Amino acid sequence: MNPANNRKNEHVSLAMNFFQESSKSDFDALHYVHHSFPQMSVEEVNLSTSFASFRLDFPFYINAMTGGSDWTKKINKKLATVAHETGIAMSTGSVSAALKDPSVKDSFTIIREVNPAGLVFANLGTGQTVENAKKAVDLLKADALQIHINAPQELIMPEGDRDFSNWLEQLSAITAALDVPIIAKEVGFGMSRETIESILATGVKTIDISGKGGTNFAQIENYRRKTNKIDYLENWGQSSVISLLEAQEFLTTADILASGGIRHPLDIVKALSLGAKAVGISSLILNMMIKDGVDETISQINDWKENLKSIMTLVGKKTVSDLQQTDFILTGEVKDWCLARGID
Ligand code: FNR
């Protein structure tokens, strides 16, 4: 097998091996103040949201994962079925494998076949050309293109990139040339306000801060290294909660999305309270689908929609944008971070 395609299989199996549903999370440092009178009914909750040029019926989606091999084609087919049946948006994994090796194209295009009218985002790395970015969008008839930013992963990956000198220029060029929205995303290392500022200067308006706390690509790539492990880098980055706090000053000028370490609907609501327009979920859905199958995953996701309405009622908010006005306090290291970085 082509080594790049084998890497795609390894990423999925290692993400599953390392997956820990109940691990400690910075989301636990955000505590809502309980008020006893919601003064509204669950029926009044509207889960719809919008970002870039899209309106979504539900404020969460399947975030970038895979494609590029026979096994990952099967996974993408199942994920696309879940997206289709539940009406949530979905991103593919990086399409670069198909641009290098056209024989694996169908492991990505299967997503469009299964879900012809759904909201689908293609995905590519920052170091790519404008031409490849256009090809990635055309391949999937994608509604948007996610450009992933993943310096720690590349550096720990033995075969990864080592030259990051023009990533921002490449992001600008792709953004200027494409006629679909660009979503700049991290891959689980989070973002700082300086990073967000640099991304906005390239013309990108939609940013997924994808923070630490869930899938850990420093750990995954270290495991793939045969020698010279760099395991002391496995705690690198900002959590999703801290990244969202870093993003506060951009909430009116950019569409901020959140992902990284989402465990359940309460984490989704917390991310929305911190200003995310929508929340991406990768390993939780992948794990559920591999362990419990497609039907159970569809049923679980439909339950989440109801759970979201319950939690929004508990905090007395009828819409996703109203969630930005909840009462909560932050504790522990998250609070320390805010103090140190001057975040109110
Ligand atoms: C990913 N992720 C990812 N991101 C990206 O932009 N392009 C990609 O090709 C991949 N590939 C990939 C494979 C697998 C198996 C997983 C689990 C994840 C990263 C993903 O989109 C997300 O940013 C992180 O996984 C954090 O979210 P979770 O997994 O903690 O919900």
Tokens of 55: 């309106």
Nearest CA to ligand 1 atom 23: 187
First and final C-alpha spacing in the chain: 52
CB count in 10 Å sphere of residue 52: 17
25 lines ligand 1 (CB under 6 A): no
What residues contact residue 184 under an 8 Å CB cut-off, 6+ apart? 146, 147, 149, 171, 199, 202, 204, 206, 207, 208
Q: Which residue has the tokens 């870039």?
A: 52
Report the C-alpha gap between 222 and 209 in whole angstroms. Answer: 23
Please report the atom of ligand 1 found closest to the CA of residue 283.
Answer: 29
Give pLDDT tens digits for 150-203: 999 999 999 999 999 999 999 999 999 999 999 999 999 999 999 999 999 999
Residues 196-228 have pLDDT tens digits of 999 999 999 999 999 999 999 999 999 999 899
> 277-328, pLDDT tens digit by residue?
999 999 999 999 999 999 999 999 999 999 999 999 999 999 999 999 999 9
Instruction: Answer whether 146 contacts ligand 1 (Cβ < 6 A).
Output: yes
Distance between CA atoms of residues 207 and 59, nearest Å: 15
Q: How far apart are CA 121 and CA 145, in angstroms?
A: 5
Contact yes or no for 107/68 (Cβ under 8 A): yes
Whole-prediction pTM: 0.98
**Residue-level length of the chain:** 344
DSSP 8-state code for residue 171: H
The C-alpha torsion from 312 through 314 and 316 to 320, rounded to 10°, is -10
Q: Which of 171, 283, 289 to mutate to test the pocket of ligand 1 (most atoms within 8 A of CB)?
A: 283
Q: Could you tell which of 20, 187, 263 is best to mutate to test the pocket of ligand 1, judged by most ligand atoms within 8 Å of the CB? A: 187
Average pLDDT of the chain to the nearest whole number: 97
